[in-house]
């Protein structure tokens, strides 16, 4: 008997199921149903309040946020942020059409549309959406969004549209499923939920930022 059969047989032996067909149907229904459970009351608010909640929660976990009125102003906002921290105006950037469409050179930014390399200090990525409940950004990996962009560079900059801010994680799942890519690959290879900066408490439980992932997370929120 293979290990698979051994394990499944051991499990089945203890599961008393007079009607196996009914159990299989119940399981199939549950898998297809995506039924939501209790969601916190804190997200039962209108969209403007969700936008404010997102900013509050992301700020509480050390992300910085700038809200701008016009998407064309993104390169300027990024360049300004980097100048403010005395960082070079050079970054790896996700090959995302929304980011491609921006005029980075006008803001004296040098951007490289590729996955980040070990030497890149700054990475710019485009989240799929964001969850107000805990100030969490949701990244969907793919040609337009390298997953490593969220972890390798020390400074992680995210360009988010206000309309992409949702209430709970369940709303993010629905959006991701709706953007599906066909059978078996309905969801991206990697979904990264990012809530603030990398952190550890492994030495004397002292909170320290930026142990392996980004030490700085900056979010540019564009009104739309």
Q: Write out the binding residues for other proteins, residues 69-108 only, by CB under 8 A.
A: 95
Residues 166-205 that bind other proteins (CB under 8 A): 168-170, 173, 183-205
Helix ranges (H only) for 35-124 are 47-60, 74-84, 97-100
Residues 11-40 that bind other proteins (CB under 8 A): 11-12, 14-15, 23-24, 26-27, 30-31, 33-38, 40
* Whole-angstrom distance, CA of residue 152 vs CA of residue 119: 9
The residue (of 41 and 178) whose beta carbon lies closer to other proteins is 41
In the complex, the smallest distance separating the C-beta of residue 134 from other proteins, rounded to whole angstroms, is 4
The DSSP code for 46 is -
> What are phi and psi for residue 208, nearest 5 degrees?
-130, 145
Which range, of 1-9, 65-73, 98-106, 120-128, touches other proteins by CB under 8 A? 1-9
Applying CB under 8 A, which of residues 64, 90, 115, 162 lies at the interface with other proteins?
Answer: 115
The residue (of 20 and 224) whose beta carbon lies closer to other proteins is 20
Cα atoms in the 13 Å half-sphere on the side-chain side of 72:
1
Closest-CA residue to 94 (of 70, 122, 71): 122
Closest-CA residue to 127 (of 65, 199, 35, 37): 65
Applying CB under 8 A, which of residues 4, 19, 86, 178 lies at the interface with other proteins?
Answer: 4
Structure tokens at 72: 């064309």
Instruction: Check: CB of residue 208 under 8 Å from CB of residue 70.
Output: no
The residue (of 8 and 106) whose beta carbon lies closer to other proteins is 8
CA 201, 202, 204, 209 torsion-angle sign: negative
In the complex, the smallest distance separating the C-beta of residue 146 from other proteins, rounded to whole angstroms, is 4
In the complex, the smallest distance separating the C-beta of residue 224 from other proteins, rounded to whole angstroms, is 25
Residues 118-147 that bind other proteins (CB under 8 A): 118, 133-136, 141-143, 146-147
In the complex, the smallest distance separating the C-beta of residue 58 from other proteins, rounded to whole angstroms, is 11
């Amino acid at each position: 008997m293979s290990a698979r059969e051994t394990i499944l047989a051991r499990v089945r032996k203890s599961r008393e199921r007079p009607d196996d067909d009914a159990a299989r149907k119940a399981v199939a229904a549950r898998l297809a149903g995506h039924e939501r459970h209790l969601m916190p009351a804190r997200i039962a608010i209108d969209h403007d309040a969700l936008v404010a909640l997102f900013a509050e929660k992301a700020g509480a976990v050390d992300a910085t946020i700038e809200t701008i009125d016009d998407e064309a102003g993104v390169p300027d906002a990024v360049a300004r942020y980097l100048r403010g921290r005395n960082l070079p105006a050079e970054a790896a950037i996700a090959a995302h059409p929304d980011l491609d469409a921006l005029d980075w050179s006008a803001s004296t930014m040098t951007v490289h549309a590729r996955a980040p390399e070990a030497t890149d200090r700054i990475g710019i990525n485009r989240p799929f959406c964001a969850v107000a409940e805990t100030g969490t950004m949701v990244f969907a990996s793919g040609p337009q969004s390298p997953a490593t962009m969220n972890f390798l560079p020390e400074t992680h900059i995210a360009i988010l549209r206000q309309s992409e801010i949702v209430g709970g994680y369940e709303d993010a799942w629905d959006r991701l499923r709706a953007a599906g890519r066909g059978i078996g690959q309905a969801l991206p290879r990697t979904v990264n939920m990012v809530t603030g900066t990398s952190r550890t408490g492994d030495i004397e439980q002292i909170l320290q930022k930026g142990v392996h992932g980004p030490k700085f997370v900056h979010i540019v929120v564009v009104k739309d």
